[in-house]
A and B are shown apart, each in its own frame.
Chain A
Amino acid sequence: MRVDRFFLTVVLAAAVSACAVAQSPIDILRKSIDARRNTLASLIQSQSLVPTSEERILMKVELDGKGRIRRTMLQPLRFQGQVMIDDGKSILAFAPDAKELTVMSSAIRPLASAFRIEQISKNYRLSARKVEPIAGRTTVLITCRPVHKGMPWRRVSVDQKTSLPLRIVSTLDSKATTLLDTLSFDEPKSMPDSLFRAPQASEVKIIRLAGPTRVQSEEEAAERLDFRPWVPKGLPMGFAAEAMEVNSSGLAIRLTDGFHSVTLYQWDASAKTPGFGGLSDSDSFVSRGLRMAVIGDVPESIVQRIIENLRKESLNL
């Protein structure tokens, strides 16, 4: 009888270990960051319009496995039919009702996953386990516990076969928000090229947006701008500067803790330059002769902590 129990325990342990995930959680996340560029799939996904709001958007996402992505908005009605295509060279956004095609001629390629992974390793404690299928796919759930108090938890469900993230849930103060969910997942054999070209329609107005230029240092940014920018050194909650981009409106400094992205916009505080459109004076603040604004997919409390930190650091200089 004792032998039977022992045998049962061994079998149970073997079953549990078989179910355990072979890869480390960080390796799974690393693959998931690049998966959109090398997976051939057609998905219906629901995504939060703004990460901190309840409003959701339903879209069809088509990936051709060669780095091209087409997103067609299905709901809500005001976005229905809008198409966004990233063909690897430019980003096109087509609004059928307005008959406008926005073209970003020199789209900046996604940043290397290495920095993101390094940030995630520093700022989160990860664990992985297999869970119930999502949209008929077997997934691995990565639970990411933040090191810094006040940051949301992340739960990322990754498709075991393709490594695509199928569900992302953010939890802060016991309130869970599903940022991304997948309702259907198809693996077609191929995708027609026409899907990734600008939609054909008569009398389309083309709006060309000057693409940003990535710069490597404050000096290089200053050469391209009419003002001297400022890159903060000490950021709270594990955030660090990932990249700097200069465009016709000013400077955008991309900050991330690995999962969350926040942009620090800077432009000349003098009235001569309009700066980034869509921001009122109350959305921004002035420090060191620069007007700055912090916008990102994080709760307002985190934005405020970053702003507070920026103000302190700029005063101490």
Chain B
Amino acid sequence: MNCRIAKAKISEYLDSELSGHDMMAVRHHLSKCTACEQEFEIVSNLKQRIGQMKCAEPAPEFESKLFDAVLNSAPAPARRPISIWRYAAVTAMASALVVLGVLQFFDQPRSAPIAQDSRSMDVATDQALQGSLDPFGSAPVITVSNAGR
């Protein structure tokens, strides 16, 4: 293994993402190459420091400012007189939403989800589910952030 390849693999080496063979090869190279060992120390320190950093919390007024900014950026629609039918329809819709909300609340698990979403099946998810059921299938990994989108 040369220095170029070893340096490219240092990050994966630190995260234990390399195969056994590659791990051995990088370790062997680091043991005899001072330049790469220094690079290893730098990347290792960097990862440690990033890991110790705290997430920045937004200021308390951030949310209200953001909402104000969004609401003020959209042009206000021209107001029309509300007919009695439209008023009734809006009231009925709001009532239906309240009922649905209550039903969903009781359907929720104890972890209290922030939102529920119903999506259709995509191929990656379908294949992952097949893999999970198939005794001779591939690894059942659902790339969750893309599931059903």
Label chain B's interface by main secondary structure: loop
Question: Contacting A56 at CB < 8 Å: which of B19, B114, B128?
Answer: B19
Chain A nearest CB from B50 CB (Å) reads: 14
**Which 7 A-B pairs rank lowest in CB-CB distance, beginning with the nearest?**
A277-B122, A95-B144, A47-B139, A278-B122, A248-B120, A93-B142, A206-B113
Chain A nearest CB from B103 CB (Å) reads: 14
CA distance A95 to B143 in the complex (A): 9
Chain A nearest CB from B122 CB (Å) reads: 3
Which of B1-9, B72-80, B88-96, B130-138 lines the interface with chain A?
Answer: B130-138
Q: Is A168 an interface residue (CB 8 A)?
A: yes
CA distance A48 to B60 in the complex (A): 46
Q: Can you name the residue of chain A whose Cβ is closest to the Cβ of B139?
A: A47
CA distance A261 to B135 in the complex (A): 11
Q: How large is the interface on B (under 10, 10 to 19, 20 to 34, 35 or more residues)?
A: 35 or more
- Scoring A residues 65 to 101 as 1 if CB is less than 8 Å from chain B, else 0, what string do you get? 0000101010111010010101000010111001011
Are B134 and A276 within 8 A (Cβ)? no
Also in contact, A48 and B137, with CB within 8 A (given A102-B147, A206-B116, A249-B121) = no
Are B148 and A102 within 8 A (Cβ)? yes
Q: Is B83 an interface residue (CB 8 A)?
A: no
Question: Contacting B125 at CB < 8 Å: which of A109, A202, A209, A248?
Answer: A209
Are B119 and A209 within 8 A (Cβ)? yes
CA distance A27 to B148 in the complex (A): 38
CA distance A252 to B122 in the complex (A): 11
Chain A residues lying within 8 Å of B117, measured Cβ to Cβ, are: 205-208
Q: Is B118 an interface residue (CB 8 A)?
A: yes
Also in contact, A297 and B111, with CB within 8 A (given A100-B145, A212-B121, A278-B146) = no
Chain A residues lying within 8 Å of B146, measured Cβ to Cβ, are: 278
Q: Is B129 an interface residue (CB 8 A)?
A: yes
Q: Can you name the residue of chain A whose Cβ is closest to the Cβ of B104?
A: A206
CA distance A283 to B149 in the complex (A): 18
CA distance A59 to B140 in the complex (A): 10
Q: Is A247 an interface residue (CB 8 A)?
A: yes
Are A207 and B132 within 8 A (Cβ)? no
Chain B residues lying within 8 Å of A35, measured Cβ to Cβ, are: 135
Q: Is A50 an interface residue (CB 8 A)?
A: yes
> 5 A-B residue contacts at CB 8 Å?
A49-B139, A75-B16, A82-B142, A98-B145, A212-B121
- Scoring A residues 184 to 215 as 1 if CB is less than 8 Å from chain B, else 0, what string do you get? 00000000000000111111111111101000
Chain B nearest CB from A116 CB (Å) reads: 8
Q: Is A104 an interface residue (CB 8 A)?
A: yes
Are A277 and B138 within 8 A (Cβ)? no
Question: Contacting A91 at CB < 8 Å: which of B16, B124, B129?
Answer: B129
Question: Contacting B126 at CB < 8 Å: which of A71, A94, A95, A263?
Answer: A263
Are A279 and B123 within 8 A (Cβ)? yes
CA distance A77 to B14 in the complex (A): 11
Chain B nearest CB from A254 CB (Å) reads: 7
Are B141 and A57 within 8 A (Cβ)? yes
Q: Is B82 an interface residue (CB 8 A)?
A: no
